[in-house]
Amino acid sequence: MSFNTFGHMFRVTTFGESHGVAIGCVVDGCPPLIPLTEADIQGDLDRRRPGQSRFTTQRQEADQVKILSGVMVHPETGVQVTTGTPIALQIENTDQRSKDYSDIQNKFRPGHADFTYEAKYGIRDYRGGGRSSARETASRVAAGAVARKVIAGMSVRGALVQIGPHKIDRAKWDWDEIGNNPFFCPDKDAAGLFADYLDGIRKAGSSIGAVIEIVAEGVPAGLGAPIYAKLDGDIAAALMSINAVKGVEIGDGFASAELTGEQNADEMRMGNHGPQFLSNHAGGILGGIATGQPVVARFAVKPTSSILTPRKTVDRAGADTEILTKGRHDPCVGIRAVPVGEAMVACVLADHLLRHRGQVG
């Protein structure tokens, strides 16, 4: 029901506007006795943090997380652990630059949620995009760091696989390259191409879309659930809820439409540790339940509409006008969506793990 909560057993409720006092979240349902410190969370936040390269917004936020509740130092081990009670995480907004918002206050930016928030609520927080700002995703990344602890044994990694018309070469995929470039790009050569291409976009005051791929390994066969709690259904909702996402696919995704049954069926053979699949067109999920293979999800991020070229729009008074967005923005918001996508998938897996344990024991 909730507008700002996701998950069922592992539940995350986020709050906060781009230019308010603070943003944050409450993680409810986390199992007890899991070691957790602010440093565990800070690492993931730092990967998402803006201002780390010329390819992301120059907004400078320390994004320092503070744990307000739900942990204590274990009296016997001396290790700080979760207690089973809600974990409140808070990130202060430190770079609420005092600026002139009069332009976007009264005009609707094409492609932004300005018009729709106002249509829904009769009011919108125009300062930095308010609640619709991608800043909200910092809370998700913080929650995702907790989720990773819950699904110990599973790994969730993301990669940028396409910017504009440029796609990576899958044959060159190397997870170790992810940290070597500002794009989370697993193909070293593509990363160079991305840099050149994006410099052009950035200098033109333009923006461009992207595609991100998330791969979860170690997901046990049987995790997930049928019908309306499908693992892929929940991943789809989670990824589509990220700002600017317009498409989600699992495994072969839209390419499945062109496959025959013979091509698409992932055949099986007994392996040393049980049944093995000979291919993974399914992206690790059949009938909403994990097969034990890597879970593979991709999502498309549209270009931000904050660009330097004036666009036709209307203002709140109902007059035709134009607008261009001068603020600090990402030329490709897809880049910073990588750790956000990872966090969402980690949260979905944590939720499913607890629900699965509950029903099946």
Burial zone of 26 (CB within 10 Å; 0-12 exposed, 13-18 middle, 19+ buried):
buried
Question: What minimum distance in Å lies between the beta carbon of 316 and a copy of itself?
Answer: 9
* CA 58 – CA 299 distance, rounded (Å): 25
Which of 245, 247, 249, 252 is closest to 266 using CA atoms? 252
Residue 241 known to bind ligand: no
Residue 131 known to bind ligand: yes
Question: What minimum distance in Å lies between the beta carbon of 20 and a copy of itself?
Answer: 5
CB 113 within 8 A of CB 132: yes
Question: What minimum distance in Å lies between the beta carbon of 55 and a copy of itself?
Answer: 15
* CA 1 – CA 270 distance, rounded (Å): 43
* CA 202 – CA 54 distance, rounded (Å): 9
Residue 312: what are its φ and ψ, rounded to 5°? -70, 135
Nearer to a copy of itself, 176 or 272 (CB): 272
Residue 116 is classified by DSSP as H
Rg, Å, the chain Cα set:
21
Nearer to a copy of itself, 22 or 195 (CB): 22
199-226 per-residue burial string, b: 16 or more CB within 10 A, e: under 16: eebbeeeebbbbbbbbbbeebeeebbbe
Question: What minimum distance in Å lies between the beta carbon of 333 and a copy of itself?
Answer: 10
Residue 97 known to bind ligand: no
Nearer to a copy of itself, 139 or 181 (CB): 139
Residue 203 known to bind ligand: no
Residue 306 known to bind ligand: yes
* CA 199 – CA 163 distance, rounded (Å): 12
CB 94 within 8 A of CB 62: yes
Nearer to a copy of itself, 179 or 261 (CB): 261
Question: What minimum distance in Å lies between the beta carbon of 303 and a copy of itself?
Answer: 4
Nearer to a copy of itself, 178 or 242 (CB): 242
Residue 180 known to bind ligand: no
Residue 48 known to bind ligand: yes
Residue 303 known to bind ligand: yes
* CA 249 – CA 232 distance, rounded (Å): 9
Nearer to a copy of itself, 20 or 176 (CB): 20
Question: What minimum distance in Å lies between the beta carbon of 171 and a copy of itself?
Answer: 21
* Binding-site residue ranges: 48, 54, 131-133, 243-244, 287, 302-306, 328
* Binding-site residue ranges for NADP(+): 48, 54
